[in-house]
């Protein structure tokens, strides 16, 4: 990357950002945000679980893992018409992007025709499409790209050292390999993680460092606050030791560091908003978060809801984003990514 957009961050530099005084860190993050984005605009995205529960992976945070005792029931892949109905509602409620999640380790090839039909249908409604279906082969990524998928969400979730404490059924390298397959297919990358899983600050440094040193930064970076779910490993751990819960200031710091390290990316304040105060959310927006999930449900967990979000936006003078994201490429990079990136960096 060129200009102020760097992919050569060291862990020490990221750690030094975390160590800044809160006031200096927020000032710096807000400056970067103002330089590259309309600071009063927030992108609205809607989530739908198109295949819930019964997942063979053992992610310690997730209510949908078959290893969890969370009470979430496993369903089959949703009917295409039902998905399109939900997408229409999201569009009418002002959403720009429709994100669809499946509780899969990876899609099976026999699932792909229905997935392709869903992508084409949602796209034809004028919404940006995003899917999160687990690991992808290069061929599956290409099939999604051909269908016109705009974004693929696949989170690295935390730093590499903490990853194996949270998930044992796959490796950090597996996540990076799928991200590479998605990038090579020319689909925009959405990758972030979860804060508040009992990780140390060094792990949060490692988390931001992984994303900020990818060959090209993810176009979207979701920062989730752990939603503790009873019956999951991490939900139960936090119930037993509430002191392990991350404090709001450290969460805001993580958002700010992500904004500084990845100036052009959309930083999404994702799961966990429902239990966050308005003041904490306001600090996240000041720190450079510029995207949220709307509606009263995420995949299985509750979300803030449209009424409280409208009230919050009115109080803060924020408005829904209508324009395009700075890094987004349409129709794949086809070798032109570096050129587009250079242009984007020089415009700012
Ligand atoms: N199965 C796919 C996968 O893991 O990539 C897609 C769905 S998965 C639910 C998408 C992301 O949601 C996870 O990577 C994780 O970052 C986030 N997530 C899941 N459960 C969460 C929780 N309880 N709190 C916060 N984030 C969560
Ligand atoms: C992401 O980073 N956050 C969203 C989206 N990607 C798919 C998912 C949040 C899930 C929260 C827990 C749940 O609803 O079960
Ligand atoms: Fe499965 Fe994704 Fe949940 Fe992990 S996060 S258990 S892969 S649905």
133 closest CA partner among 299, 268, 273, 290: 299
Q: How far apart are CA 15 and CA 209, in angstroms?
A: 9
103 closest CA partner among 65, 160, 148: 65
Tell me which residues have their CB closer than 6 angstroms to ligand 3.
Answer: 55, 57, 59, 62, 64-65, 103, 105, 134
> What range defines the domain where residue 43 resides?
11-347
Pick the atom of ligand 1 nearest to 105's CA.
1
Q: Residue 164 falls within a domain, yes or no?
A: yes
Ligand 2, atom 12: nearest CA belongs to which residue? 301
Which residues, at least 6 apart from 216, have a Cβ–Cβ distance to it below 8 Å? 1, 7, 183, 189, 337, 341
Q: How far apart are CA 77 and CA 205, in angstroms?
A: 36
Token pair recorded at residue 133:
């279906």
Binding site membership of 251 for ligand 1 (Cβ less than 6 Å):
no
Q: Which residues are catalytic?
A: 55, 59, 62, 99, 130, 190, 268
- For residue 3, what pLDDT is reported? 55
Evaluate whether 119 touches 87 at the Cβ level (below 8 Å). Answer: no
- For residue 254, what pLDDT is reported? 98
The angle formed by the CA atoms of residues 67, 131 and 313, to the nearest 5 degrees, is 100
Q: What is the CATH number of the domain that holds 30?
A: 3.20.20.70
Q: Residue 274 falls within a domain, yes or no?
A: yes
43-96: per-residue pLDDT in tens? 999 999 999 999 999 999 999 999 999 999 999 999 999 999 999 999 998 898
Evaluate whether 206 touches 193 at the Cβ level (below 8 Å). Answer: no
Q: How far apart are CA 131 and CA 245, in angstroms?
A: 30
Q: How confident is the model at residue 347 (pLDDT cuts 50, 70, 90)?
A: very low
Q: For residues 290-312, give the mean pLDDT.
A: 93
Please compute, for residue 173, the number of CA atoms within 13 A of its CA located in the half-sphere on the CB side.
0
271 CA → ligand 1 middle, Å = 9
> What are the residue ranges of helices labelled H in the chain?
11-19, 22-36, 80-92, 112-124, 138-147, 160-166, 172-184, 201-212, 233-240, 248-261, 278-286, 306-316, 337-347
343 CA → ligand 2 middle, Å = 32
Q: How confident is the model at residue 339 (pLDDT cuts 50, 70, 90)?
A: very low
Pick the atom of ligand 2 nearest to 99's CA.
7
Evaluate whether 281 touches 312 at the Cβ level (below 8 Å). Answer: yes
Q: Residue 5 falls within a domain, yes or no?
A: no
320 closest CA partner among 42, 98, 99, 47: 42
- Number of structural domains (the chain) is 1
Residue 82 three-state SS: helix
Torsion of CA 252, 283, 33, 254, to 10 degrees: 0
- For residue 239, what pLDDT is reported? 83
Token pair recorded at residue 79:
């009917």
182-192: per-residue pLDDT in tens? 999 999 999 99
Q: State the chain's mean pLDDT as an integer.
A: 92
221 CA → ligand 3 middle, Å = 18
Q: Residue 343 falls within a domain, yes or no?
A: yes
Q: How far apart are CA 37 and CA 26, in angstroms?
A: 16
Q: How far apart are CA 140 and CA 260, in angstroms?
A: 33
346 CA → ligand 2 middle, Å = 34
114-157: per-residue pLDDT in tens? 999 999 999 999 999 999 999 999 999 999 999 999 999 999 99
**3-state SS string over 8-39?**
CCCHHHHHHHHHCCHHHHHHHHHHHHHHHCCC
Q: How far apart are CA 145 and CA 239, in angstroms?
A: 42
Phi and psi at residue 168, to the nearest 5°? -110, -15
Long-range contacts of 74-77 (CB under 8 A, 24+ apart): 74/103, 75/51, 76/51, 77/50, 77/51, 77/102, 77/111, 77/114
Q: Residue 319 falls within a domain, yes or no?
A: yes
Q: What is the DSSP letter of 300?
A: S
């Amino acid at each position: 990357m060129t200009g102020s957009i760097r992919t050569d961050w060291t862990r020490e530099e990221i750690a030094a950002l975390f160590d800044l005084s809160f006031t200096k860190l927020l000032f710096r993050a807000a400056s970067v945000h103002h330089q590259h984005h309309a600071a009063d605009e927030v992108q609205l995205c809607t989530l739908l679980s198109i295949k819930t529960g019964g997942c063979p992976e053992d992610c310690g945070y997730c209510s949908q893992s078959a290893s969890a005792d969370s009470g979430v029931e496993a369903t089959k892949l949703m009917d295409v018409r039902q998905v399109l109905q939900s997408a229409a509602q999201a569009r009418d409620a002002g959403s720009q992007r429709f994100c669809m999640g499946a509780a899969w380790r990876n899609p099976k090839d026999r699932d792909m025709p229905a997935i392709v039909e869903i992508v084409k249908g949602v796209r034809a409604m004028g919404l940006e499409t995003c899917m999160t279906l687990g690991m992808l082969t290069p061929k599956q990524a290409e099939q999604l790209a051909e269908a016109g998928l705009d974004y693929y969400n696949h989170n690295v979730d935390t730093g590499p050292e903490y990853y194996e404490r949270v998930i044992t059924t796959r490796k950090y390298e597996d996540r990076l390999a799928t991200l590479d397959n998605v990038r090579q297919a020319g689909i925009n990358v959405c990758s972030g993680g979860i804060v508040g899983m009992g990780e140390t600050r060094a792990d949060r440094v490692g988390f931001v460092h992984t994303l900020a040193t990818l060959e090209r930064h993810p176009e979207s970076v979701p920062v989730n606050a752990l939603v503790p779910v009873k019956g999951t490993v991490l939900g139960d751990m936090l119930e037993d030791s509430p002191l392990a819960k991350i404090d709001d200031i450290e969460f805001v710091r993580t958002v700010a560091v992500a904004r500084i390290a990845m100036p052009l990316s959309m930083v999404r304040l994702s799961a966990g908003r429902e239990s966050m105060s308005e003041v904490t959310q306001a600090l996240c927006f000041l720190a450079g978060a510029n995207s949220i999930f709307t509606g009263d449900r995420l995949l299985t967990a509750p979300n803030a809801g449209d009424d409280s979000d409208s009230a919050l936006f009115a109080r803060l003078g924020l408005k829904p984003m209508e324009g395009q994201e700075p890094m987004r490429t349409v129709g794949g990079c086809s070798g032109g990514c570096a050129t587009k990136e250079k242009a984007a960096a020089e415009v700012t």
